[in-house]
Amino acid sequence: MTAYTGTCRMTQALPSPVFVSGDAARAVFRWEDAIRAIQRTYSQPLATGATPPRTIARADGTWLRTLPAIPPGGRYYGAKLMGMATRSPSSGVEYVVVLYDQETSRLAAFVDANQITGFRTAATSAAALDRLAPQRPLRLAVLGSGLEASMHTRAFAAVRQLAEVTVFSPSADRREAFAQAVTQDLGVPCRSAASAQEAVEGADLVLAAARSRDEQPILYGNWLQPGSVVVSIGSTVPEQREIDVSVVERSDLIVGDMLEEVLEQTGDMIAARHAGIAFHDKALSLTDLMSGAHDERVKTAKAPLFKSVGGGLQDIVVAELILSKALEAGLATPLPIAFETKH
């Protein structure tokens, strides 16, 4: 076993795996780079089996989730892992992306993926928004004031000029803090609203990024003005609700990042199906959107909806981007380990 210390600057095949910390990931990450990387990836055909569904192992209060992917045209492939054992008195979730090098078949890197999850979700939404929203200054309404809401606002600002941002969340203190941070960081006027309906009124773009605690919808179709674009990221499994069925009924174009999961396994779409709303003929995959094959349909859409559940493909694409930049900046730490290779 060979020992390594310090950091490294390299782009060639790595002699041993490296570790990229959360601090290093934050230091090298840029929204524009991640959004373009997502767009490039989804504009290429995806091989059957390259992005299988996530798997979740559960037993006695412990769970482990795995999201594997082999991106088209990328150097690396791998999986994001996350898990938690609730028997621990200080339970928490740790995330890691494990990357393999396609040129060598060797383990290349372990990337702290706590931030990557937020980065990739917002970058994917912004990549879709860039194809769905008109090319003009937009008024953004944000429902939610947490990490995802914050990241999405910054990602949206990377692809469109924001004329104004209005935010609502149940906590007055949190929404005021969110408004102050957006104004300070982005130089965009941002104000808090006393209700979700007030925040949405007159908005060109609506981000739903906060489910209610009792899993009731937080956004309704009759609040939305004609032509407004909706991005929904909070309902990702059957038990979760975020947008009302009236939003699904209103939408004349529905784009999903993992289309089958979005249409069949999210609480919002399950509720719409139970309400008798037909939506499959209105749906496109993110690959369909990025390929340009449906541009005429996209251009004529009056009420587009992008709905995301997240996927391993996004994790691997963003992790590869971060790894490459961390290597260039000397912020990837070589690990004093070597794996045996089976031939």
Q: How many CB atoms lie within 10 A of CB 106?
A: 16
Spatial contact of 153 and 123, defined as CB atoms under 8 Å apart: no
Question: In whole angstroms, what is the distance from residue 37 CA to residue 14 CA?
Answer: 22
Domain positions in the chain are: 18-117+313-334, 121-310
Spell out the per-residue pLDDT of the chain, length 343, in tens: 333 334 444 444 557 899 999 999 999 999 999 999 999 999 999 998 999 988 999 998 899 999 999 999 999 999 999 999 877 667 788 999 999 999 999 999 999 999 999 999 999 999 999 999 999 999 999 999 999 999 999 999 999 999 999 999 999 999 999 999 999 999 999 999 999 999 999 999 999 998 877 889 999 999 999 999 999 999 998 999 999 999 999 999 999 999 999 999 999 999 999 999 999 999 999 999 999 989 999 999 999 999 999 999 999 999 999 999 999 999 999 999 988 888 8
Give the 3-state secondary structure of residue 314.
helix
Give the 3-state secondary structure of residue 78.
strand
Q: How many CB atoms lie within 10 A of CB 93?
A: 11
CA angle 102-103-107, nearest 5°? 60
Residues 6+ apart with CB under 8 A from 264: 270
Question: In whole angstroms, what is the distance from residue 209 CA to residue 276 CA?
Answer: 25
Give the 3-state secondary structure of residue 31.
helix
What homologous superfamily is domain 121-310 in, according to CATH?
Answer: NAD(P)-binding Rossmann-like Domain (3.40.50.720)
How far out from the chain centre does Cα 34 lie? 11
Residues 6+ apart with CB under 8 A from 34: 119, 120, 123, 155, 317, 318, 321
Q: At residue 261, what is the residue type?
A: E
Tokens describing residue 288: 């369909």
Spatial contact of 70 and 77, defined as CB atoms under 8 Å apart: yes
Give percent helix, percent strand, percent coil of the chain, each to the nearest 5: 35, 25, 40
Give the residues across from 219 on adjacent strands.
243
What is the enclosing helix (H) or strand (E) of 68? strand 62-69
CATH architecture of 18-117+313-334: 2-Layer Sandwich (3.30)
Question: In whole angstroms, what is the distance from residue 264 CA to residue 158 CA?
Answer: 31
Question: Residue 87 has what pLDDT?
Answer: 76
Spatial contact of 155 and 122, defined as CB atoms under 8 Å apart: yes
Question: Residue 14 has what pLDDT?
Answer: 53
Question: In whole angstroms, what is the distance from residue 164 CA to residue 195 CA?
Answer: 17
Question: In whole angstroms, what is the distance from residue 306 CA to residue 290 CA?
Answer: 13
Nearest to 182 by CA among 195, 169, 201, 196: 169
Q: How many CB atoms lie within 10 A of CB 127?
A: 28
